[in-house]
Amino acid sequence: MYTQIESNKRNTIILMGIFLIFIIGLGYVFSYAYNDSLFLTIAVIIATVQSVVSYYYSDSIALAISGARVVVHEENPDLYHLLENLCITAGLPQPKFYIINDSAPNAFATGRDPNHAVICVTSGLLEKLNKNELQGVIAHELSHIGNYDTRLMTVIVILVGVIALVSDMFLRSMFWSGRRRSSDSSGGQVQAIMAVVAIVLAILSPIIAMMLQLAISRKREYLADATAVSLTRYPDGLASASRGPSDKGG
């Protein structure tokens, strides 16, 4: 298990490096092909604002959209103590705990770090799982927080959004300026080739970014499973929950 944890950590770092290199290369190709960095500047400004809002308020946004309600100790002491005990075992501060009124069994964690984290479970999850299964799922989500997966995936989502935004702006700018550029272009075979490459990348880059996101996400899911088992010391709980009608761990 610990070998798998270390392997997943290394693979995540490698994938993040590929992600960043891809973004830098994409920006270079677009700038070279378009010969004007104005649209990239605008994209960076928009992406920066979006990134700051997402990074600091992702938990609040998720809770507002889902209509979650806080788990109060007096109303649900068993559920509250379950999370409390897992946090003590993991040595983590207790995150905010919410319930979403939804019949579909599901759970997710969000927040930029353990001190600003949130765990949400649906009412359907509470109805369908026994205590051991529920402990396994919550330990899985708590592991995402302890392993800083919530921060990592927030950053990844932002990077995917930046790639999609820059690609879309490039394609639109090329479309609207196509006639002007065809009339006053004085040659430049290299730039013409780079323009073709840039158009291809603008179309394919969001797909590539999504594939990288899914690869990183899957690695972190494996890591969260391993960490959750180390917290509960009962792998059958999480395994039984995972065999349910739908994926119960985010």
27/44 Cα distance (integer angstroms): 10
Express each pLDDT in 132-189 by its tens digit. 999 999 999 999 998 888 888 877 877 787 777 777 777 777 666 554 444 444 445 6
Domains in the chain, number: 1
Residue 119: predicted pLDDT: 94
Give the residue numbers annotated as catalytic, written as ranges: 141
Domain of 224 in residue numbering reads as 1-250
Please count the other Cβ atoms lying within 10 Å of the Cβ belonging to residue 236: 12
Is pTM beyond 0.95? Reply is no
237/136 Cα distance (integer angstroms): 5
Mean pLDDT of 79-104: 92
User: How far from each other are the two terminal CA atoms of the chain, in whole angstroms?
Assistant: 20
119/125 Cα distance (integer angstroms): 13
Residue 185: predicted pLDDT: 46
Q: What is the DSSP string of 191-222?
A: HHHHHHHHHHHHHHHHHHHHHHHHHHHHHHHH
Contact yes or no for 40/166 (Cβ under 8 A): yes
Mean pLDDT of 45-69: 77
12/169 Cα distance (integer angstroms): 29
Express each pLDDT in 182-241 by its tens digit. 444 444 566 567 667 777 877 887 888 788 788 878 888 888 898 898 889 888 888 888
Contact yes or no for 173/195 (Cβ under 8 A): no
Contact yes or no for 175/147 (Cβ under 8 A): no
pLDDT above 60 for 249: no
Residue 52: predicted pLDDT: 76
Residues of 144-180 as b/e, b for ≥16 C-beta within 10 angstroms? bbbbbbbbbbbbbebbbbbbbbbbebbeebbeeeeee
